[in-house]
Amino acid sequence: MEDTERILEEAQKEAEGAESSRALYEVKMKFLGRAGKVTALLKGMKDVAAELRPAFGKRVNALRERLEEIFEGLEARAKEREMRERLASESVDVTMPGRRSAQGALHPVTLVKNQLIDIFAGMGFEIFEGPEIENEYYNFTALNTPADHPARDMQDTFYISDGFLLRTQTSAGQIRLMEKKRPPIKMLSPGRVFRSDDDATHSPMFHQMEGLVVDKGVTLCDLQGMLDEFARTMFAETSKTRLRPSYFPFTEPSVEVDVSCAACGGKGCPLCKGTGWIEVLGAGVVNRRVLENCGVDPDEYSGFAFGMGIERIAMLKYGIGNIKLLTENDVRFLEQFKG
């Protein structure tokens, strides 16, 4: 009988001292578990004198119930405390500013290329991409540039091996397309080109956009009409074009095309060196010889072609002073083109 008092006290003390629900469970097992002290008391019933047994049984049961109550209360408290601690340690401050991941932007050359494609696709041009490694036939010979023609040195070509070179102009694509497709043709050909050239406005690798139109009755007027549209969309609503006579072996007549300076509106400023005009591309009526080389009858068909440097357009449009900025990939420069 006295044992029950002692056990109650002992259990209560140990239970209150348990610091976690896990420790509390262990204390509970020590008393109420299968090998526990209270259980042992019940097992010892048979040794108790028969007349005392009912009273003893009652006491032990009362002890068990009391202990169960105590453990239940303490368990609930321990669990609640542990939950609070977990919530505190795992809590996230949703008002804290997040870590921003760096966001990219399209490169100005890509921006201009996409815009050019947009403008000319709207006029019905289709994209054609030729290879960057060309042979002399496509880059020069078929474009009416004979073996001893000064243009071959003029272009300062990177030769790879006998007869093979890095294309110096996307004009090579004109031939490749005309060999495959009969007129009517409206081709737009973007791509990298390579020349041994290197200063603030020239880079050994740059991008060109080639255009070729071949059909019945195509004239230089059609070219100028399309280029006017291009200049207005690319530069300013008031932009105009001007054709000046020039020379390319693959066009006759050949022209150099100027766009009125968008910075000063044609009045003259440092950008246009006081002339009011900026040269943006080469063009011309496709030379009869070139059509013949591709099996197109020059008496039935005529065409025009143009080629422009994409870097040059980007530099004019965005006021970029040095072409090297376009290949250095300085993030501070590139960030300025975020849409």
Q: What is the smallest separation between the CB atom of 219 and ligand PHE, expressed in angstroms?
A: 15
| Residue span 302-321 as binding mask against ligand PHE, x where in contact by CB under 6 A, dash where not | ---xxx--------------
DSSP annotation of 315: H
Q: Which is nearer to ligand PHE, 190 or 282 (CB)?
A: 282
Side chain identity, residue 204: P
Show contacts with ligand PHE in window 225-254 (CB under 6 A): 248, 251
Specify the residue, 144 or 169, whose C-beta has the smaller distance to ligand PHE: 169
Binding mask 270-289 for ligand PHE (x = CB under 6 A): ------------xxx-----
Three-state secondary structure call for residue 317: helix
Q: Strands 159-161 and 133-135, how do they pair? A: unpaired
Q: Is 171 in the site for ligand PHE (CB under 6 A)?
A: yes
Of 251-270, which residues contact ligand PHE (CB under 6 A)?
A: 251
For ligand PHE, the closer of residues 108 and 309 by Cβ is 309
92 CB-near residues (< 8 Å, 6+ apart): none
Cis peptide preceding 298, ω within 30 of 0:
no
3-state SS, one letter per residue, for 156-215: CCCEEECCEEECCCCCHHHHHHHHHCCCCEEEEEEEEEECCCCECCECCEEEEEEEEEEE
Mark residues 75-114: x for contact with ligand PHE by CB under 6 A, - for none: ----------------------------------------
In the complex, the smallest distance separating the C-beta of residue 284 from ligand PHE, rounded to whole angstroms, is: 5
Contact 254, 282 (CB under 8 A): yes
* Interacting residues toward ligand PHE by CB under 6 A: 169, 171, 248, 251, 282-284, 305-307
